A and B are shown apart, each in its own frame.
Chain A
Amino acid sequence: MKRWTTAMLAFVGLMAIWEWLVRAGVWSPVLVPSPVDVGKYLVASIQDKTLIEACYVTLKRLMLGYAVGLGFGLPLGLLTARFKFFKDTLGLLALGFQTLPSVCWAPLALLWFGQTETAMFFIVIMGSIWSITLAADAGVRNVPPIYSRAAQTMGSRGLHTWFKVILPASLPFIVSGMKQGWAFAWRSLMAAEIYITILTGFGLGHLLHYGRELHAMDTVIGIMIVIVIIGLLTDKILFSPFERFLHRRWGTGK
């Protein structure tokens, strides 16, 4: 609790300095709005529901795209880990696509799917799937062979070994891969929303884009703060419990 309070005080102090810099005229309010202005924008946009809706639209795209990316990425990773042929083909492809910045999929998605939700999903999936595949592959490869040998002597075979030994043994890798996949999905969705204007829903990226178009710096910075907060929250809510469990069981971390 004490740590929390001191951290809070530090942030409040930072905002006070920011406010002072704007008021004193060191920073032009045209380029840097004061925290009070940003706060006003956020309150107003929550009241007229634009921010809430944008968050909803963005998170829905992210969740669905990520779920699909996870659903395909994980089995693909197991496939590349198990079969040499898939390692040499799909594995190489995954490695290549993972290095491709996911916004590079945007032109293709636009041409294939037009200005639709599908184009958005496509970009999110392409952003997340490869790092999950690679992590699952690395996870399985790093499982000490002694685990499956020990399991075999106890009568475990085939799928049982895969689900009860190899998958849980590679969990630390898989979870960090899932986290990375999430980060990539989040980045690619923001890029896609800024880049592609679609009429079926305004996401946070669109708000950011229009903030720029209208030169509304309070919007731009307000939305950026919201994006940061969402990133932090997903990390704390989605992945932290997982990681804490892994640290406790494996005895890693502090």
Chain B
Amino acid sequence: MTLSDELRNEPPEKLLVECVSKTFQARSGTLLALENISLNVREGEFVCLVGPSGCGKSTLLNIIAGLDSPDTGRVLADGEPVTGPGRERMVMFQESSLFPWLDVFDNVMFGLKLNPRLSREGRRKVALFFLKLVGLEKFIHANIHELSGGMKQRVALARALAPNPRVLLMDEPFGALDAMTREQLYGDIQEIWAKRRKTIMFVTHNVREAVCLGDRVMLFSPHPGRIQEQFEIKLPRPRDINSVELAKYSTEITRTLKRHLIPEFSEVSE
């Protein structure tokens, strides 16, 4: 251990991805979805993965969640290897993954019921707390199909937060929403993140969104999926997606993204 290591005062590593590769069998041959990905996320950090569609960022998120397993390499959460999905790493999916056979309240209760440490009354209180946090206390007994897209994703957020995960993995959660609703949710998610101090990994193809939310933005390029560059976003919070400073960052990142993207386009991995 060197002196500089001793003197560093950084928060502990929450997630460590080491040399993860993943291939898929496609009809046209083997597709290298992720090649040798290594990254780390610190406790309480908000990290955004940005890249075009099909660059493997969702695959990486699924591997971190434990829903997929890597071909090579490994993922460590708090120093422990990830072997399967678990409550400590909750996922919020891009499409609505809410259960239509349950109402809003029971959707949030689903994960809580699987926690044996909570009493029945405790679970109800926790569910109500998070539904209030996302501003849906008036809709607890609504059916899922009665909600708007933005409300659905709020329920999904409450459901993901309720089991009190240490890490929140968000896979393009606002992709299907209109701009107005999305802007509102950017504010909400920053507020909740500040209140609850979660470690968040957020996947998106929207550079502005990533700059608005992330402490750090990682740039993904496809075929094969690789992390090309990282950007620290040093802007005060809460951030407004329409601010000029934010636009400067996102212009720079978009430019870099394009530079990485265009030569890669013709290349197809077999």
Contact = CB atoms under 8 A, between A and B. Distances in A.
Contacts of A154: 87, 90, 110-111, 114, 159, 163
A69 to B, nearest CB: 24
A153 B114 contact: no
Contacts of A55: none
How big is chain B's contact interface, by range? 20 to 34
A118 interface: no
B99 A147 contact: yes
A146 B97 contact: yes
A238 interface: no
Contacts, number: 68
A168 B99 contact: yes
B97 A250 contact: no
B149 interface: no
B interface secondary structure, majority: loop
Nearest to A252: B145
Q: Which of A150, A153, A164 has the most CB of B within 10 A?
A: A153
A155 B86 contact: yes
Contact of A150 (B89, B97, B101, B145): B97
Contacts of A152: 67, 84-85
Interface of A: 146-147, 149-156, 160, 164-165, 168-169, 171, 248-251
17 contacts: A146-B95, A147-B97, A150-B91, A152-B85, A153-B65, A153-B67, A153-B90, A154-B87, A154-B90, A154-B163, A155-B115, A164-B110, A168-B101, A249-B100, A249-B101, A249-B103, A251-B146
Interface of B: 65-67, 84-87, 89-91, 93, 95, 97, 99-103, 110-111, 114-115, 143-146, 159, 163
